[in-house]
């Protein structure tokens, strides 16, 4: 057997969802899990528990794999550099990955590539932050450059007084990233994959809806998007991947800004399969999880054609229902076309525990698909008999703000 072994650092739902793709290709996936009970452990036969912050644990794990890749972006750069120096094949490499780990590095790189950023600055102390806000106007968005996710590490400062109150953040990490509060019509995501030898592919640009900083829904492709904006966004993501030497899947999260510049600004980069790409599991010839495996192995990439006219992804977070399976009969009966992807996680309020994908053929209506996907997700989240569950009519989700 000469099939390679892929090692994923981190045992979250992204690693879990790589498992079926690895199985289909006949590849072995191993996971360095944070604990016995994380999402990916039941999905892969070989999932040792270890600490991604420990060089020894990483080393030990890397010994048995042909390529090392990631479920999250938190592995310290210095450990990856050490592993590489010791001959480990790390994909994406630390030089690329740092732009997904550190938002200040990302902003500088986007500027250097001549791609559109919001106005920003590195703020070393409150006075710099206040000066920035006074210069560009309030509100200002303050971010911790490292360690944030799902809106944690993002604060909106409405005034000088708010800025002065953010002194606590300066104690923990400096400099911080200060950005203008962008007036966007909606958020987009441009998902691409790239191999170490520079082959790349893009999926259609999608509309992503965030609720409290967490991805809630994705509509693929982004309805009514200006084709020139979509093309420019794909091109920008491919260029970023190329010039930063990204390997595997990369998501460029964008703000759509009609009438301003090329029509979008870069928000942030993720270098791994991404929540905004989950729709590809059921909506595309090649899912982002399969593509990530192909890409990190340097294999030919798969086609990214969409398998319908529209694809919807609706996340469900932990809610009232603790016994998710008890809601499955009602949820699956509500919509036989819906594809449920559960993460095998215990239910905690606000925790991402699964998503529903729904693909619509020619002539389908994205809003109707959204309502159907939301209904299935709500039944699982709330339980079959709760308000909003199978017995109650489900409100149509608010129509996303179309561009002006």
Q: Which residues are annotated as a binding site?
A: 103, 143, 179-182, 187, 267-268
Residue closer to ligand ADP by CB (options 182, 392) is: 182
Annotated binding site for ATP: 103, 143, 179-182, 187, 267-268
Cβ at position 209, least distance to ligand ADP in Å:
9
Cβ at position 257, least distance to ligand ADP in Å:
10
Cβ at position 334, least distance to ligand ADP in Å:
29
Cβ at position 230, least distance to ligand ADP in Å:
19
Residue closer to ligand ADP by CB (options 81, 181) is: 181
Residue closer to ligand ADP by CB (options 118, 319) is: 118
Q: In the bound complex, which residue of the shown chain has the CB atom lying closest to ligand ADP?
A: 182
Whole-angstrom distance, CA of residue 24 vs CA of residue 111: 40
Residue closer to ligand ADP by CB (options 118, 366) is: 118
Residue closer to ligand ADP by CB (options 152, 399) is: 152
* 3 state SS for the chain: CCCCEEEEECCCHHHHHHHHHHHHHCCEEEEEECCCCCCCHHHCCECCECCCCCHHHHHHHHHCCCEEEECCCCCCHHHHHHHHHCCCCECCCHHHHHHHHCHHHHHHHHHHCCCCCCCEEEECCHHHHHHHHHHHCCCEEEECCCCCECCECEEEECCHHHHHHCHHHHHHCCCEEEEECCCCCEEEEEEEEECCCCCEEECCCEEEEEECCEEEEEEECCCCCCHHHHHHHHHHHHHHHHHHCCCEEEEEEEEECCCCCCCEEEEEEECCCCHHHCCHHHHECCCHHHHHHHHHCCCCCCCCCECCCEEEEEEEEECCCCCHHHHHHHHHHHCCCCEEEECCCCCCECCEEEEEEEEECCCCCHHHHHHHHHHHHHHHHHCCCCCCCCCCCCCCCCCCCCCC
Residue closer to ligand ADP by CB (options 91, 117) is: 117
Cβ at position 151, least distance to ligand ADP in Å:
4
Cβ at position 321, least distance to ligand ADP in Å:
26
Q: Which residues bind ligand ADP (CB under 6 A)?
A: 118, 141, 143, 148-154, 179, 181-182, 187, 210, 213, 253, 267-268
CA dihedral for 263, 267, 273, 276, sign (positive or negative): negative
Cβ atoms 154, 143 nearer than 8 A? yes
Cβ atoms 317, 335 nearer than 8 A? no
Residue closer to ligand ADP by CB (options 149, 325) is: 149
Cβ atoms 403, 226 nearer than 8 A? yes
Cβ at position 120, least distance to ligand ADP in Å:
8
Cβ at position 47, least distance to ligand ADP in Å:
26
Residue closer to ligand ADP by CB (options 179, 290) is: 179
């Amino acid at each position: 057997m000469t099939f390679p072994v892929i090692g994923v650092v981190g045992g979250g739902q992204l690693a879990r969802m790589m498992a079926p793709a690895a199985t289909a290709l006949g590849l072995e996936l191993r996971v360095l899990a944070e604990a016995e009970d994380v999402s990916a452990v039941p999905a892969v036969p070989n999932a040792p528990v270890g600490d991604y912050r420990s060089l020894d644990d990483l080393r030990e794990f890397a010994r048995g794999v042909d390529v090392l890749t990631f479920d999250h972006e938190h592995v310290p750069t210095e450990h990856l550099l050490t592993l590489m120096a010791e001959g480990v094949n790390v994909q994406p490499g630390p030089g690329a990955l740092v732009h997904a780990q550190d938002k200040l590095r990302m902003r500088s790189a986007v500027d250097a590539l001549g791609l559109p950023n919001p106005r920003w600055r590195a703020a070393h102390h409150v006075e710099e932050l206040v000066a920035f806000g006074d210069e560009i106007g309030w509100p200002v968005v303050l971010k911790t450059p490292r360690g944030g996710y799902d809106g944690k590490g993002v604060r909106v400062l409405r005034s000088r007084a708010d800025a002065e109150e953010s002194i606590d953040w300066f104690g923990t990490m400096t400099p911080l990233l200060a950005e203008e509060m962008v007036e966007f019509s909606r958020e987009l995501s441009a998902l691409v994959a790239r191999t170490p030898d520079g082959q790349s592919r893009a999926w259609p640009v999608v509309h992503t809806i965030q609720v409290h900083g967490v991805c809630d829904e994705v509509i693929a492709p982004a309805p009514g998007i200006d084709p020139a904006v979509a093309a420019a966004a794909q091109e920008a993501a491919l260029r970023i991947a190329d010039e930063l030497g990204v390997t595997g899947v990369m998501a460029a999260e964008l703000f759509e800004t009609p009438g301003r510049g090329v029509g979008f600004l870069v928000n942030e980069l993720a270098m791994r399969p991404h929540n905004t790409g989950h729709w590809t599991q059921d909506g595309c010839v090649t899912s982002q999880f399969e593509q990530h495996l192909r890409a990190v192995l340097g294999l030919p990439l798969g086609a990214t054609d969409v398998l319908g006219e529209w694809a919807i992804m609706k996340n469900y977070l932990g809610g009232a229902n603790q016994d998710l399976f008890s809601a499955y009969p009602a949820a699956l009966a509500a919509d036989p076309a819906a594809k449920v992807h559960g993460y095998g996680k215990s239910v905690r309020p606000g925790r991402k525990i699964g998503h529903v994908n729904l693909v619509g053929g020619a002539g389908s209506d994205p809003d109707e698909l959204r309502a159907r996907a939301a209904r299935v997700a709500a039944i699982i989240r709330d339980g079959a008999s709760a308000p909003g569950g199978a017995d109650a009519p489900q409100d149509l989700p608010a129509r996303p703000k179309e561009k002006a």
